[in-house]
Chains A and B, each alone.
Chain A
């Protein structure tokens, strides 16, 4: 290939590269740069605002929500994955669970919020059933619309997501390894403690990090469920963006979004390191 035809070959990629430049790279750079600006001048005001009491509190709640829902999702999801993985690959049970997991993990968002309002909201089905039969009011002071409710609702998409991302790792565990361990006189506990556990740990931690990032970035469910107050970072960004009372909070939104990028970037870096470590074992 001569130099001219190599040049024209690259030229054909231009539409694709330009498109991504305009709709992906430019918005991200706007956020990065905007976080350090106010009225077109460089300043650290908005970055400093990230360390104010309110924002720190919201960040803390966001981190707790992501961590707890990732932990619940990872542990329960791994257990469900194990129940699925021990069935033959062609069984109807396994197909149904993986298909349903795909829908629930991908398609959460708005429908999910309403599913839980219909179940545990003030006139939710379970709420009313318990109210009329046992006289217990589980709606209480509206916990569904606060942090505990968000953790519960997030688990509803975190567990299926765990099934999807963790199943390949569990499938990579060969039955022969267990047979070998048993032949050498290992008990079930010893097999899990010394063979399968260490082998699966990187994959488990990696999946848990992915769940964390997923919860941290999630917006739709919380936006529909929580209409008052801004308990988590995405909702604080919403109020900074749509605030009509206080002018010039756009750059605060940039700074908050920047903070989000930093957290997700750290998590995803750890994730890719763990995945690299896992892929060495499971092939």
Chain B
């Protein structure tokens, strides 16, 4: 290891401080903006209390949480058995499934929204006009991220051998998937679930253009009438997402240690 020159150490420190200012000032401004009294000194927590008082905001938070839950469940039900099945029985389909799962990364969500009107006419005909029907579109959005974490979990175990062992002991395919393979890829499944929750809680494009009042949509709306409350809600959402992703990093770490053991 070379010893670092003084110039380099100064450059490093100065640039880190600059990056720190750029990334911290907007966050600190949110704290300040959401707690100050307009046209006067002092502090107030009214905008933060509004997060619980405002009827529309509260409803939207509940909708967003329900959406996150439903999207995660539907994504898991759709994706996990399919991916396990592809590895066990139809390896020929693995390229196709991978391509389809990663496709949403290359098609902007806005494009899907523009084309989805006909599909959603049927969805609201069958399921009513609830914001919860957004679940169907959100599953598509979270697909690439969920696919990656489940795929890497599946790659770290020998699915075929596990399945053959279970089958030779008389287990049916459902037992193989639910009781043999699933517990072995649990960490990947959990991390797929966390990413889905974080993405759904922040999603704005679909909700705003299909006019469903989810949390980000209502926060955007609030900006026009009550800026401090919308800033407080934004900061709360950001903190909540950070918390989720920190939890996610712990799940990831546990996978690595279990693999090493």
Contacts and interface: CB of A to CB of B under 8 A. Distances in A.
Interface of A: 6, 9-10, 12-13, 15-17, 19-20, 22-24, 26-31, 34, 76, 79-80, 83, 95, 99-100, 102-104, 106-111, 113-119, 123-126, 156, 159, 213, 216-217, 219-220, 223-224, 227, 234, 237-238, 241-242, 250, 253-254, 256-257, 260-261, 264-265, 268
A227 B225 CA distance: 13
A24 B114 contact: no
Contacts of A30: 115-118
B216 A115 contact: no
Interface in B209-258: 209, 216, 219-220, 223-224, 227, 230-231, 234-235, 237-238, 241-242, 245-246, 249
Contact of A219 (B25, B81, B86, B110): B110
B108 A261 contact: yes
A28 B107 CA distance: 8
Contacts of A253: 114
Nearest to B208: A223
Interface residues of B, number: 73
B140 to A, nearest CB: 5
B34 to A, nearest CB: 7
Contacts of A156: 22-23, 26
Nearest to A179: B2
Contact of A31 (B114, B203, B230, B238): B114
Interface of B: 12, 15-16, 19, 22-23, 25-30, 32-34, 38, 78-79, 81-82, 85-86, 89-90, 93, 97, 100, 103-119, 136-137, 139-140, 198-199, 202-205, 208-209, 216, 219-220, 223-224, 227, 230-231, 234-235, 237-238, 241-242, 245-246, 249
Contacts of B97: 13, 16
